[in-house]
Amino acid sequence: MKPPPSIRFVGDGTPPRAPFGLAWSEGGAALVVQVAGDDAHGAIPDAATLPAGAWVFVLPEAARSRGLLAAFGKRTVSRSARCGALLLRGYVDIGAEIDPKSRLDLVFGRAP
């Protein structure tokens, strides 16, 4: 997939490293979503609320929970769960790949 010209982070907490070697932008053309725990479906905006053709990328790591033991656990959300969440939210052209710059396992979809 061709990288978007700019990206915007959507999620709770501090944004992680940005994919594609880009910097985070407030008005990014594509959205990057970090899911909260195992609920990938709830964190992803509905495709109907975005402009047609907008790309959404879902990060593999869940947002860290708070607390003393949170620093010791690194939870990831499976590709199938992230792809299924995009499908349920109305996205098309769903796919997955490893970003060569950041080495992140990205799942992506496009708003129809």
- The amino acid occupying position 3 is P
**Which whole number is the average pLDDT over 3-8?**
91
Task: Please report, rounded to a whole number, the percentage of residues in the chain having pLDDT higher than 70.
Answer: 80
Q: State the Cα torsion 104-20-1-87 to the nearest 10°.
A: 50
Which of 8, 12, 13, 54 lies closest to 27, judged by CA? 8
pLDDT at 47 over 70: yes
pLDDT of residue 35: 74
Question: Where residue 81 falls among pLDDT bands split at 50, 70, 90?
Answer: confident
pLDDT of residue 39: 59
d(CA 45, CA 109): 11
As a whole number, mean pLDDT of residues 13-22 equals: 85
Sorting pLDDT into bands at 50, 70 and 90, what band is 40?
Answer: low
